[in-house]
Amino acid sequence: MSRRRIPDVVIRRLPLYLRILDDLDHTETPIISSQELGARSGVTPGQVRKDLSFFGVFGKQGVGYNTGNLREELRKILRLHQQVAVGLVGVGNLGTALIRYNVAREKPYPEGTGLKLVAAFDKDEKKVGRKISGIEVFSLINLPELVKSLKLSVIILTVPAEAAPGVLNHCIQAGVKAFLNFAPTKLTAPPNVRIHHSDVMLELESLAYFR
């Protein structure tokens, strides 16, 4: 099935399934049912089966999915079985905090695979050359060459709202196709480019229920 046809939110649920499988002891739990995976991720068993069938992954009827195989399949589908080099643009308050948190956080995948933050960028030449938790800050001007040499394929945007469209275009022209945007503004991009918006408001709104 074409990658284009799969709904965005299906892709967004895959890391959650993967997290659940990462947290399981595969010796103790060699098989997981769509019921169990659904209960832990909060969707119906039918939704789990539908999500996974998009990628040709089918459990054994009445039995379930082999947990180890399913984890490997999900890693491959998400292309996390390779190293994914991540860059961050905008070393202000939020950018600095994300670099520190990201570097400090324990990674769930084996060394040499998965996401790795490798470079930061800022237009402010005073910040260039600094290191934050070991991550060097480069000039935004040098982004295109570093996208190539470091194989950056995902960019985190932590620039002010008014700077976001210009920086986005700069990155797209350098060949980047995947962005996580924290700037509080809507961004548009060609159809082959994916932008996810981090939305603290949605998180807070669901918390209002529990207060």
Binding residues for its own copies (CB under 8 A) = 3, 7-12, 14-16, 18-19, 39, 41-44, 46-47, 50, 77-80, 84, 86, 92-94, 96-98, 100-102, 104-105, 108, 114-115, 153-154, 156, 158, 161, 176-180, 182, 184, 194, 196, 198, 200-211
Q: CB of residue 25 vs its own copies: minimum separation in angstroms?
A: 18
**Is the Cα torsion angle 17, 19, 25, 26 positive or negative in sign?**
positive
Q: How far is CA 186 from CA 177, 200, 202, in A?
A: 17, 14, 15
Phi and psi, residue 75, nearest 5°: -60, -45
- Shortest distance, position 167 Cβ to its own copies, whole Å: 16
Give the span between the Cα atoms of 59 and 48, in whole angstroms: 10
Closer Cβ to its own copies, 27 or 181, answer by number: 181
Q: Is the dihedral of CA 182, 183, 184, 186 positive or negative?
A: negative
| CA separation for the pair 56, 50 (Å, rounded) | 10
Cβ closer to its own copies: 1 or 204?
Answer: 204
Let me know: does 85 contact 149? Beta carbons within 8 Å: no
CB of 186 to its own copies, least distance (A): 10
CB of 137 to its own copies, least distance (A): 14
- The nearest distance, CB 192 to its own copies, in angstroms, is 9
In one-letter notation, the amino acid at residue 57 is: V
CA–CA dist 195, 174 (Å, integer): 16
Instruction: Decide whether 128 or 156 has the Cβ nearer to its own copies.
Output: 156
For its own copies, which is the closer residue by CB, 86 or 140? Answer: 86
Instruction: Considering the complex, state which of residue 26 and residue 177 has its C-beta at the smaller distance from its own copies.
Output: 177
Q: How far is the CB of 64 from its own copies (least distance, A)?
A: 20
176 close to 155: Cβ distance less than 8 angstroms: yes
Distance CA 24, CA 73 (A): 16
For its own copies, the closer of residues 47 and 66 by Cβ is 47
